[in-house]
Amino acid sequence: MSTAINIDLATDIRSNLTMILEENQKLANQIDFGQIADMVPFIQNAERIFIVGAGRTGLTLKAAAMRLMHLGFTVFVVGETTTPAIRKNDLLIAGSGSGTTSSIVKAAEKAVSAHAKVITISTTLDSQLANLSSHVAILPAAQKQDHGGSISKQYAGSLFEQSVLLLTDAVIQTLWKLDGTAAEELWKRHANLE
Mean pLDDT per 10-residue section of the chain, whose length is 194 residues:
66 95 95 96 98 96 96 97 97 96 97 98 95 96 64 85 96 95 90 84
Closest CA to 137 of 108, 95, 176, 165: 95
Distance of alpha carbon 131 from alpha carbon 5, whole angstroms: 51
Residue 74 near residue 44, CB atoms below 8 Å: no
Helix (H, G, I), strand (E, B) or coil at 62: helix
Residues assigned a catalytic role: 161
pLDDT at 157 (0 to 100): 83
Distance of alpha carbon 17 from alpha carbon 40, whole angstroms: 31
pLDDT at 4 (0 to 100): 56
pLDDT at 143 (0 to 100): 65
Distance of alpha carbon 142 from alpha carbon 126, whole angstroms: 14
CB atoms within 10 A of CB 129: 26
Which residues lie closer than 8 Å to 26 by C-beta, 6 or more apart? none
Q: Are strands 49-53 and 135-138 parallel, antiparallel or unpaired?
A: unpaired
Q: What's the burial of 100, exposed, middle or buried (CB within 10 Å: 0-12/13-18/19+)? A: middle
Given 3-state DSSP classes, what are the helix, strand and coil percentages for the chain, each rounded to the nearest 5? 50, 10, 35
pLDDT at 8 (0 to 100): 83
pLDDT at 168 (0 to 100): 97
- Class of 3-187 per CATH? alpha beta
Helix (H, G, I), strand (E, B) or coil at 157: coil
Residue 157 near residue 144, CB atoms below 8 Å: yes
Q: Which helix (H) or strand (E) holds 117?
A: strand 117-122
Closest CA to 91 of 31, 43, 148: 43
Nearest-5° Cα angle at 190, 185 to 194: 150
